[in-house]
């Protein structure tokens, strides 16, 4: 373990800007403000409130957030044109700590095919707009878009030009999610080590997940010297999404001793933030999503359930309480073992007489073979039936297995198996 104080990694949340740009998503001003308040509770360092020039509604949402949020820097996005920069400044100037964020392409693909400009023209425009933004605001971030596919020498030239013009944050984006981790780490390393004046700027990264490497590329960038991460709640964002805030934050937390890095996020607010974003965007989180998925702390295998019930460290590398959950979830299925079965009965306050234990277990196995999950109500019926002579309840109803396996139930089960 490193003996020195861990280096601080700053969390820049762009859920309200890049995340909200996801196809099919829309957040109105009230929804954006609710999420911003939760991000403030979460303790992120920077909130990117939106893209003010895009619409009057987004301008007003950014302004409301800037007026209310305290403790976090509030920023918004501008293209490298005066009108955009003026819109950003008009929207965020009342923030406690405002920042103007400027983006302009750096890859030849973008310069030629998107902008129709030359490299020299891009450098000139970028420097002029950074200088103009600095005349308005003390904090200016410059993002050379599509840095992951740019000529490395030209990227270095761009970085040092924008720092000289007044940018005090340089954000290196893998805009298309194209880079491999070692490639992206080298891009960031060169920008930091070779650009003159780099010691005057904080280096940030913005990675996309098109090849599933956003978090890996972000980690490689941190190893190369970046100290700010742009990310989103639930990893939402353009196309396949962005670096997932909850994943990078818990990575820094769980592996802090190895990485020598730490963030300032209150991890216990992660689940609340995730659920709020899912609710307001109308987009549920995939069950197997790291950290915040429904199955992230759920166990269905009998071997795993037995291990977790003996000691959670057997199969859990972080505590559910650390991300704002109350406990792990033991899911009873046909793969569950006796340990999990009796554990759940105990949680329900059900005690079986010694002579009824085996009958209840056999009934459980019969039911489990017909369902995705055996519920607490199923367990109560199983326990009640097992306690009666010949498996019948005293009220004259048939055994619980007959109730659960009647024709209607079998039909429902088949429908679930076929259609999900």
Residues 155, 183 share a domain: yes
Per the domain annotation, does 226 fall within a domain? yes
Residues 226, 137 share a domain: yes
Per the domain annotation, does 117 fall within a domain? yes
Tokens of 65: 């957030």
CB neighbourhood size of 120 (10 A): 8
Residues 372, 308 share a domain: yes
Residues 270, 316 share a domain: no
pLDDT at residue 169 in the model? 98
Q: What is the mean pLDDT of residues 85-107?
A: 98
Question: Can you say whether residue 396 is alpha, beta or left, with left for phi > 0 and alpha for psi between -120 and 50 degrees?
Answer: left
Q: What is the pTM of this model?
A: 0.82
Per the domain annotation, does 288 fall within a domain? no
Per the domain annotation, does 287 fall within a domain? no
For the ranges 13-22, 71-80, 142-151, 410-419, the lowest mean pLDDT is seen at 410-419
SS3 for 14?
Answer: coil
Confidence check: pLDDT of 417 > 50: no
Q: Are the CB atoms for 100 and 136 separated by under 8 Å?
A: yes
Domain boundary among 256, 281, 306: 281
For residue 47, the surrounding DSSP H or E stretch is: strand 46-48
Q: Are the CB atoms for 386 and 360 separated by under 8 Å?
A: yes
- Among 206, 222, 188, smallest CA distance to 48 is for 206
pLDDT at residue 318 in the model? 85
Q: Are the CB atoms for 270 and 253 separated by under 8 Å?
A: no
Residues 167, 99 share a domain: yes
Domain boundary among 232, 251, 281: 281
Residues 237, 305 share a domain: no
Per the domain annotation, does 291 fall within a domain? no
Residues 262, 349 share a domain: no
Residues 325, 244 share a domain: no
Pinpoint the alpha helices (H) of 282-406.
Answer: 302-310, 338-347, 357-368, 376-386, 400-404
Pinpoint the alpha helices (H) of 118-255.
Answer: 119-136, 152-165, 181-194, 214-223, 245-254
Strands 46-48 and 10-13: parallel
pLDDT at residue 361 in the model? 78
Question: Can you say whether residue 212 is alpha, beta or left, with left for phi > 0 and alpha for psi between -120 and 50 degrees?
Answer: left
**CA 6 → CA 2, 68, 234, distances in Å?**
8, 31, 26
Residues 305, 162 share a domain: no
Interval 252-309: pLDDT, tens: 999 999 999 999 999 999 999 999 999 999 999 998 999 998 777 766 656 676 665 6
Per the domain annotation, does 292 fall within a domain? no
Q: What is the mean pLDDT of residues 39-66?
A: 98
Residues 249, 137 share a domain: yes
Per the domain annotation, does 290 fall within a domain? no
> How many domains does the structure of the chain reveal?
2
Average pLDDT score over the chain: 88
Residues 230, 124 share a domain: yes
> Which band of pLDDT confidence, cut at 50, 70 and 90, is reported for residue 88?
very high
For the ranges 62-76, 112-126, 360-374, the lowest mean pLDDT is seen at 360-374
The CATH code of the domain that includes 45 is 3.20.20.70
For the ranges 105-114, 115-124, 272-281, 317-326, the lowest mean pLDDT is seen at 317-326
- Per DSSP, what are the bridge partners of residue 103? 79, 143
Residues 232, 157 share a domain: yes
pLDDT at residue 362 in the model? 84
Tokens of 171: 């954000």
Segment of 3-12, 96-105, 320-329 carrying the highest mean pLDDT: 96-105
Interval 364-415: pLDDT, tens: 788 878 888 777 788 788 888 877 765 444 343 444 444 444 444 444 444 4
Residue 339 domain boundaries: 298-419
pLDDT at residue 418 in the model? 39
Per the domain annotation, does 252 fall within a domain? yes
């Amino acid at each position: 373990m490193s003996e020195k104080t861990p280096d601080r990694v700053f969390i820049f949340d762009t859920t309200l800007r890049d995340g909200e740009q996801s196809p099919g998503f829309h957040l109105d001003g009230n929804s954006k403000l609710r999420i911003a308040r939760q991000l403030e509770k979460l303790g992120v360092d920077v909130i990117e409130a939106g893209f003010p020039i895009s619409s009057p509604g987004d301008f007003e949402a950014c302004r409301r957030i800037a007026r209310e949020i305290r403790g976090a820097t509030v920023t918004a996005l501008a293209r490298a044109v005066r009108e955009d920069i003026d819109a950003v400044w008009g929207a965020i100037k009342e923030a406690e700590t405002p920042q103007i964020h400027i983006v302009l392409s750096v890859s030849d693909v973008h310069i030629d095919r998107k902008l129709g400009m030359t490299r020299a023209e891009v450098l000139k425009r970028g420097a002029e707009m950074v200088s103009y933004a600095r005349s308005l605001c003390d904090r200016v971030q410059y993002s050379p878009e599509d840095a992951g596919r740019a000529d490395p020498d030209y990227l270095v030239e761009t970085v040092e030009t924008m720092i000289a013009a007044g940018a005090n944050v340089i954000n290196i984006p893998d805009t298309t999610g194209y880079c491999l981790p070692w490639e992206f780490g080298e891009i960031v390393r060169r920008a930091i080590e070779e650009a003159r004046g780099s010691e005057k700027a904080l280096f940030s990264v913005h990675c996309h997940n098109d090849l599933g490497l956003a978090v890996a590329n972000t980690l490689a960038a941190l190893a190369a010297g970046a100290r700010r991460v742009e990310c989103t709640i639930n990893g939402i964002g353009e196309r396949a999404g962005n670096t997932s805030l909850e994943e990078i934050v818990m990575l820094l937390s769980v592996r802090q001793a190895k990485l020598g890095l730490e963030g300032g996020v209150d991890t216990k607010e992660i689940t609340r933030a995730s659920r709020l974003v899912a609710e307001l965007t109308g987009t549920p989180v995939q069950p197997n999503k790291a950290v915040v998925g429904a199955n992230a702390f759920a166990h269905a295998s009998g071997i795993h359930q037995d291990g977790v019930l003996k000691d959670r460290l057997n199969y859990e590398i972080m505590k559910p309480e650390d991300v704002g959950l109350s406990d792990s979830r033991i899911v009873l299925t046909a793969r569950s073992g006796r340990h999990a079965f009796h554990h759940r009965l105990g949680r329900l306050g059900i005690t079986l007489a010694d002579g009824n234990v085996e009958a209840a277990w056999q009934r459980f196995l019969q039911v489990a073979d017909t369902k995705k999950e055996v519920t607490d109500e199923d367990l109560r019926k199983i326990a009640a039936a097992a306690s009666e002579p010949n498996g019948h309840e005293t009220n004259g109803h048939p055994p619980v297995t007959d109730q659960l396996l009647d024709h209607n139930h079998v039909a429902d089960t088949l429908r679930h198996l076929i259609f999900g």
